[in-house]
Chains A and B, each alone.
Chain A
Amino acid sequence: GAVVSQHPSRVICKSGTSVKIECRSLDFQATTMFWYRQFPKQSLMLMATSNEGSKATYEQGVEKDKFLINHASLTLSTLTVTSAHPEDSSFYICSAKGQGATEAFFGQGTRLTVV
């Protein structure tokens, strides 16, 4: 299967700072990327969908000004958590899908801890 790499795998930041998470498709062109959030012992919840070169589409209840998503190239999407607070601590996972593909491939996830 295709490979999606997410970086960093773990990050600790201070409250009020911003954190950027990268999601890269290593061996295919990802026309669409998805960002999910997973709180401890809960399921994955879709935050937003991004198409290359377009603005991301956010799910209801997700603050677009707080979770900035950029999908500037066919191999890279970034999620920036701005002015992070402890309640933003979570596991963030991206997935990427190529044009016409029938499934998306997941990255390894990023564990964000805001202290």
Chain B
Amino acid sequence: AQSVTQPDIHITVSEGASLELRCNYSYGATPYLFWYVQSPGQGLQLLLKYFSGDTLVQGIKGFEAEFKRSQSSFNLRKPSVHWSDAAEYFCAVGAAGTASKLTFGTGTRLQVTL
């Protein structure tokens, strides 16, 4: 069975500081990996995804993530955080080939201090 672990429930960073959100997955084959952002009371917005190829993936809003197969990780990074980045971030894994139903991590709440 596939699973996703986001070890950090809550992270606080200062505006302008760098950010890294951790994500570890468990999957028996090549996974499809996703990062989503959710603002309070809103749906999910896709930040980036990894299917194959270059292991460093660029997304929207200046985010990037690196797929490391040896570590079963797909950490999300941003070099300089903006106050508007405060939200809940979810990592998810899906079945390769169909990108069907996703398994989500428990999420990391990002707080940005000014």
Residue positions of A touching B, CB distance < 8 A: 1, 6, 32, 34, 42-46, 49, 91, 93, 95, 97, 101-109, 111
* Bound form: Cα–Cα A97–B100 in Å: 8
* Bound form: Cα–Cα A109–B38 in Å: 11
Q: Chain A: interface secondary structure?
A: strand
Asked if B43 contacts A102 (CB within 8 A), the reply is: no
- Other-chain contact of A44, B41, B49, B90 (Cβ < 8 Å): B90
Is residue B71 within 8 Å, beta carbon to beta carbon, of the partner chain?
no
Contacts of A93 in B (CB 8 A): 43-44
Asked if A46 contacts B106 (CB within 8 A), the reply is: no
Is residue B56 within 8 Å, beta carbon to beta carbon, of the partner chain?
no
How many residues of B sit at the interface, in one of the four size bands? 20 to 34
Given the interface pairs A32-B100, A43-B105, A49-B100, the reply to whether A103 lies near B41 with Cβ below 8 Å is no
Contacts of A103 in B (CB 8 A): 32, 34, 46, 49, 99
Contacts of B34 in A (CB 8 A): 103
In the assembled complex, the CB of A74 is this many whole angstroms from the nearest CB of chain B, namely 17
Contacts of B44 in A (CB 8 A): 44, 93, 95, 106
Contacts of B46 in A (CB 8 A): 1, 103, 105-106
* Bound form: Cα–Cα A46–B100 in Å: 11
Contacts of A106 in B (CB 8 A): 36, 43-46
* Bound form: Cα–Cα A54–B32 in Å: 26
Contacts of A49 in B (CB 8 A): 100-101
Asked if A43 contacts B99 (CB within 8 A), the reply is: no
> Which among A44, A93, A101 has the greatest number of chain B C-beta atoms within 10 A?
A44
Contacts of B100 in A (CB 8 A): 32, 49, 97
Query: What are 17 residue pairs bridging A and B, where the CB atoms are less than 8 Å apart in the complex?
Result: A1-B46, A32-B100, A43-B105, A44-B44, A44-B90, A93-B43, A93-B44, A95-B44, A95-B102, A102-B99, A103-B32, A103-B49, A103-B99, A106-B43, A108-B43, A109-B41, A109-B43
Asked if B101 contacts A107 (CB within 8 A), the reply is: no
* Bound form: Cα–Cα A103–B35 in Å: 12
Asked if A104 contacts B102 (CB within 8 A), the reply is: yes
